Amino acid sequence: MKEKIKKLFDKILNLNSLEILDLVNLISKKFNISLKEKESFNQNNNMIKKKEEEENIKKNIIIKSIGNASKISLIRMIREITNFNLKKAKDISENLPYEITEDLSEEKKYKDIKDKLIKIGLEVE
């Protein structure tokens, strides 16, 4: 950070709240920034942050039962989704229900995997 800016910032830190308010109003007038524009900017930022937070929420799929699917197709799907070895996938297929806890945070990825599982006849949640 430039020394000039740092000194200015240090001076601002020493202002009281009324002086800061005056400074904000002065800057707003000088650069033609209305409070409505600032509020709109803040709202847009909040919406973007909220959307990012929602996308970062992990989504899991629970395979409840084998349903109409064959055991082999279940094992193949488990291996495809989780990259587990054959023995681990077989153990999972024999001990349902099983929660797939892979990173399925992307909505498209979540829907694609869930659709594949339903397509082969599994009961999922």
Residue 91: per-residue pLDDT: 87
CA distance 41 to 50: 14
Instruction: Name the more confident of 123 and 99.
Output: 99
Give the containing element (helix H, strand E) for 52. Answer: helix 35-56
CA distance 73 to 103: 22
In tens, the pLDDT along 69-104 reads 778 888 888 888 888 888 888 888 888 788 776 666
Residue 81: per-residue pLDDT: 81
Residue 27: per-residue pLDDT: 84
Torsion of CA 4, 5, 10, 13, to 10 degrees: 150
In tens, the pLDDT along 3-58 reads 888 888 888 888 888 888 888 888 888 888 776 666 776 677 677 777 666 655 56
For the chain, domains (ranges, CATH) are 3-56 (no CATH), 61-124 (3.30.1390.10)
